[in-house]
Amino acid sequence: MSGSRIYMDWNATAPLSSDARSACLSALDLIGNPSSVHGEGRAVRTLIENARRDVAGLCGAKAASVIFTSGATEAANLVLTPDFRMGRTPLKIGKLYASAIEHPAVREGGRFPREALSEIPVTSAGVVDLHALRELLAAHDRALGLPMVAVMLVNNETGIIQPVAAIAEIVRTVGGILVVDAVQAAGRTPLAIEDLGADFLILSSHKIGGPKGAGALVARGEVMMPAPLIRGGGQEKGHRSGTENPVAIAGFAAAARKVGVDVAARMAPITALRDSLEREMQAAAADVVIHGRDVSRVGNTIFFTLPGLKAETGQIAFDLEGVALSAGSACSSGKVGRSHVLTAMGYDPRQGALRISIGETTSEAEIERCAAAFAKVAARRRMPGQAA
């Protein structure tokens, strides 16, 4: 990043990539409505269908199974519903089981009533408790309808990768539906809907370098689908009415094309920078707690607690040092609250934690500056028992 500040909050929003910017600008010149049959309309329709193919390619899905939405939150509210159809036959979903570390867009339960929500605990390592999931699903009352399980592939705060393929096997044995929030996974770890065993994936444009205001619900097939959330003109094959946003969709597709290629090779230097920063942090403050370090994580995220430094105080301190980072999920209009992820892992959430998340344009110089800022903030904190 240019200028005196450095941006270390890619999990909240990745900077708009040059490819996505160019795609958005080109799409602005198209004047037709994608539902119109004239040439101008067909040109926009072609753009959208090509974008659908590109977003499908990001997760190994069929283009026809991609439903464009205004973002991941809308996609979650679309799929998290007790009302499904199997072809033309109504299909009842009796209960939603969501992990304790899900993003609020999923934890709120979408269109399920509160009494139909059940929480799946996680281990102290921040990984979904598979034994607890088996017990919950074994006790599920099939008379209410099928069970739905919602888990994230990569946690937005810790970066921990969840055992989704193993979860899928458990869900499959009881004939349930598996919804996977892949927002933080896209472009950071290999992503294939078939390999995961997911029935639905949730994606977001602005987490992968596309513009804000676009997302997608991706289905493994086209037979079992949720009831529409937004009704109207029947766009997106009737699954999501309303004229599509071709500018945002074009940028989303351009970002998907870029991050979906050679993921492991692209992430290797990012992971090396993250590991270097963690070593500098531990050298500056031996008592720093890096959450999830002992389990599988994506290579761009550090979620840490500094004893004696509250999250909200730390966020301001880093901001004053010119470092933009966050205190967990950036989803509550700038509020800094207690981390439900830390609570689920069994940590005292009152002190909180801070999240550093980086990406492919992060430089070694920025890592060094962040490490220097960390050392200054760590040295100034008030330790327990220290006089005010």
- The terminus-to-terminus CA distance of the chain in angstroms comes to 37
Which tokens go with 264?
């492991």
- pLDDT for the residue 200: 98
The DSSP bridge pattern shows strands 146-152 and 89-99 to be parallel
**Of 207, 239, 259, which closes a domain?**
259
- pLDDT for the residue 3: 54
**Could you tell me the CATH number of the domain that includes residue 304?**
3.90.1150.10
**Could you tell me the CATH number of the domain that includes residue 248?**
3.40.640.10
Scan for tokens 């040092």, then name that residue: 321
| Domain identity same for 215 and 241 | yes
How would you write the pLDDT of the chain (388 residues) with one tens digit per residue? 445 899 999 999 999 999 999 999 999 999 999 999 999 999 999 999 999 999 999 999 999 999 999 999 999 999 999 999 999 999 999 999 999 999 999 999 999 999 999 999 999 999 999 999 999 999 999 999 999 999 999 999 999 999 999 999 999 999 999 999 999 999 999 999 999 999 999 999 999 999 999 999 999 998 999 999 999 999 999 999 999 999 999 999 999 999 999 999 999 999 999 999 999 999 999 999 999 999 999 999 999 999 999 999 999 999 999 999 998 655 544 555 678 999 999 988 788 899 999 999 999 999 999 999 999 999 998 655 554 3
Tell me if 241 is assigned to some domain. yes
- pLDDT for the residue 97: 98
- pLDDT for the residue 278: 98
- The count of other CB atoms within 10 Å of the CB of residue 377 is 22
| Domain identity same for 106 and 166 | yes
Scan for tokens 């009302």, then name that residue: 83
- pLDDT for the residue 381: 86
- pLDDT for the residue 23: 98
Are 284 and 371 in contact by the 8 Å Cβ rule? The answer is yes
Tell me if 96 is assigned to some domain. yes
| Domain identity same for 110 and 248 | yes
| Domain identity same for 249 and 316 | no
The domain tally of the chain equals 2
Are 328 and 352 in contact by the 8 Å Cβ rule? The answer is yes
Tell me if 386 is assigned to some domain. no
| Domain identity same for 30 and 128 | yes
Taking CA atoms, 135 is separated from 120, 125, 141, 203, 356, in Å, by 10, 20, 12, 29, 35
| Domain identity same for 159 and 292 | no
Residue 330 CA from chain centroid, whole number = 11
Are 198 and 227 in contact by the 8 Å Cβ rule? The answer is no
| Domain identity same for 137 and 253 | yes
**3-class secondary structure, 371:** helix
The whole-angstrom separation of Cα 47 and Cα 27 is 8
**Of 217, 243, 259, which closes a domain?**
259
What are the phi and psi torsion angles at 286 (to 5°)? -65, -20
**Of 224, 259, 294, which closes a domain?**
259
DSSP symbols for 267-328: HHHHHHHHHHHHHHHHHH-TT-EETTTTS-B-TTEEEEE-TT--HHHHHHHHHHTTEE-BSS
| Domain identity same for 125 and 221 | yes
* 59 tagged catalytic: no
- pLDDT for the residue 335: 54
Which tokens go with 27?
């799409």
Residue among 24, 59, 331, 370 flagged as catalytic: 331
**Side chain identity at residue 9, one-letter code:** D
Residue 313, phi-psi category: left (phi > 0), alpha (psi -120 to 50), beta (remainder): alpha
| Domain identity same for 102 and 236 | yes
Which tokens go with 178?
């598996």
Q: What's the domain range around 125?
A: 19-259
**3-class secondary structure, 339:** coil
